[in-house]
Structure 1
Amino acid sequence: MHIVINSLRIEEVPFLPYMDRPADTKVGCKHRCTDAALRYFKSEVMEMCHREGLYQIDLLNGSKNRVTDREYWAQKKGQAALDKQNAPMIADSITPRQTKFETNKEKLRQTLRKALATAASFDEFSSLLLQEGVTVKESRGRLSYLTPDRTKPITARKLGDDFDRAAVFAVLEQNAARAAEAPARSPDPPRTIKDRLQVARAEIAAPKQDGVQRLVDIEQKMAEGKGRGYERWAKIHNLKQAAKTLSVYQQYGFTSPEQLEAAVDTAYQKMRQTSGELKALETKLQGKKKLQRQVLAYAQTKAARDGLRAQKSEKARAAYRQAHESDFIIADAAARYFKAHGITKLPARKALQAEIEQLISEKDGLYNTYHEQKQRFKELQTVKRNIDQILRRDEPHRRKEQSHER
């Protein structure tokens, strides 16, 4: 995503929230790329992405996990190579040891999060990382991390905002405060298998790029006229997806189809609840934006309103009002809007813009939460459909075996 800004204005524009002088609206004047202007452009880009239904990171508050274009394509190519490598094993009904490819940066992020989860001081944080072969360095108030396979450290900026100095020290302070408040007790025993399984389930709940897909009804497709080539592909596809389905089913810890169905219903309810919150936030945001447009329009007519008050006679005021009729139509419409909504004191433009940006940021987080919940619901729904199809396919074989036993 790129924001391209022309250096000179090619036409006159209305007064926008980030502007603070008359020259900012006039044709031929140079554009001033201020911090307020960039924040306004970022918020508009985020709104545009939300309007088009695109997955959008929070441009206003940075990214917890910052994935560069190079890392994105490295993950895609690595996943494709891993799928190709696992294909013969899946065809032989063997579950591969690794099904999701992770870049070196992603592995480093997981190592850092694991250390941050337990460390209570920077020295302890550095020691835990050193045990994993990672060296943390601090220079000019910034952190960088050196892994054994590299000669140049990776800066926190390239990993995400969760790993910069301020975020790391904030987490360490929280861990230290929590440890100080906790009562003295004997050291915890080693983590059990159950604890490790719970952590694994939490990781599984995150959206996946290589999610499970629906099984193909081969008999139905062949009845529709598909050829032998499609049948061979469908058999391999079903073997792969059946292995993934059973893997996900076990990793979530389901012990019966009823538990899976309950999990699907719960995921659907959470998705619907978040959708309702998102719509309410969208309504509030649109109201604030409409108020902002009215405030800006009313502020543009200030010169005309001041000129009307300067007129001495009723005749002069009528003539002045007629000469500036368009300005007073806009001012009267804004005044009616303020009266209808019970607004007696107009909010400051900068404060209103900051409130809108905050709402956009909240909407972005809620939208991404909804996106993840929707992915989780679809995954569980696909697993349920596949399990149902597998059980239906195995049912005739079970009945046949029972008849032979009799």
Structure 2
Amino acid sequence: MAVLKHIVSKNANYGESLDYLLFQHDERTKKPILNEHGQMILREEYYLDGLNCEPMLFDKECERLNDQYHKNQTYDEIKSHHYIISFDPADRDECGLTGEKAQELGLEYARKNFPGHQALVCTHTDGHNESGNIHVHIVINSLRKYDIPKEGYMERNSDCLAGYKHHLTNNYLRHLQKSLMDTCHRENLPQVDLLSPSENKIKNREYYASRYGQEKLDKLNEQILADGLTPRKTTFQTQKQYLRDAITEISHTAKDVEDFKKQLYEKYQIVVTEHRGRFSYLHPEREKNITGRALGTKYEKDYLQQQFESNHRTPNIHPDISSDPMDILFIKSNLRLVIDLQNCVKAQQSQAYARKVKLTNLQEMAKTIAYVQEHEYDTREILEDKFSSVKERTSNSRKQLNEYSCAMKSHFRKFGNQSSGTRKSPILCLMTYPFLFGYWSRPCRICGA
């Protein structure tokens, strides 16, 4: 099985792409790893070839072509495109895929799909994050060097001419994915359908955010364990993954769309918006919605409506959680007085923000304790009694206000009926009591007058 990734680069230094392919780099910082003498370390195993260029002179030849056509001269232009064909580790263990064979397939793929471009094709066998999967890097200059025959997936006349830039359209991307699938089927490698939308759509940026967030959370949990406490959370969640987990849980119990929206908001403070037949979700720590399409097909309206229909036919089984241990580090509350550091993505990404949140949380907790002591809420029973008393007084005040409103409406209608046909009396009345204008035309909710 193979997947295709695409990365664009505006870096004018083409030599850095060559260095990345040849030398070991830190996967997090993308900086080269140096030995004790300050020199870069070659990768243990790699296979490198060039198309329409000498691989070791890739940077110079690309710069020469750019100068010839006066392209890629400004900082905001895309200088190169980086495609990665990543094979599954099972292809190596079960299907006998080797680095040499992967390099051969990568060269064939590059010649077929990127003709006319200067390209580097390099195969690594170490895998990302020491996973051991074989993957092929294809780095092409964004400027085309030679004319090529026009293909059906090309939307512009310039897409086949020398001196014009590479444009990855949706049709072009589907062509690249289909070409990779055909290659894997021909080589008897298991392959998933790359053309169908993914049920759980996790992009490269979210993957790295989840990985680095987990590393920071592990370090934080080590400090908590060292203090003799038990961490409340051991698995880091991105905002998108928070939405996925919440939607998956609620969708198994909701009976319809309204019930789905209500449960999501009451339990997870997630606001669901429906626009043009599509769902979008507002994370409690965001100001911008995340569409269901960005999460995956399992979180779009059509799939969820099918799930709601099946829920009508399947009885709900609620697990017994009475014996579950209670978290002691953070108590979830709708009051939002404090921020949960272990669940705040921004705090995980910024130590400065995390320190600021800690100070703010301490201040808010101190204010809460002072308020409780000032009003002598020594026990939960006293607090509940006080709440019931305030609630009862509020209800009585609301009833009195409705009675006064009803009486004043009746007075206005009676005053208007006794007028001599002129429009002076009601107008003068409204001028005298402008704040009662809203009650002029609406019937009373209590007596109907």
- TM-score, length of structure 2 as denominator length: 0.32
- Structure number with the higher strand fraction is 2
Higher relative contact order (CA 8 A, sep 6+): 1
> Larger C-alpha radius of gyration, 1 or 2?
2
- Structure number with the higher helix fraction is 1
- TM-score, length of structure 1 as denominator length: 0.35
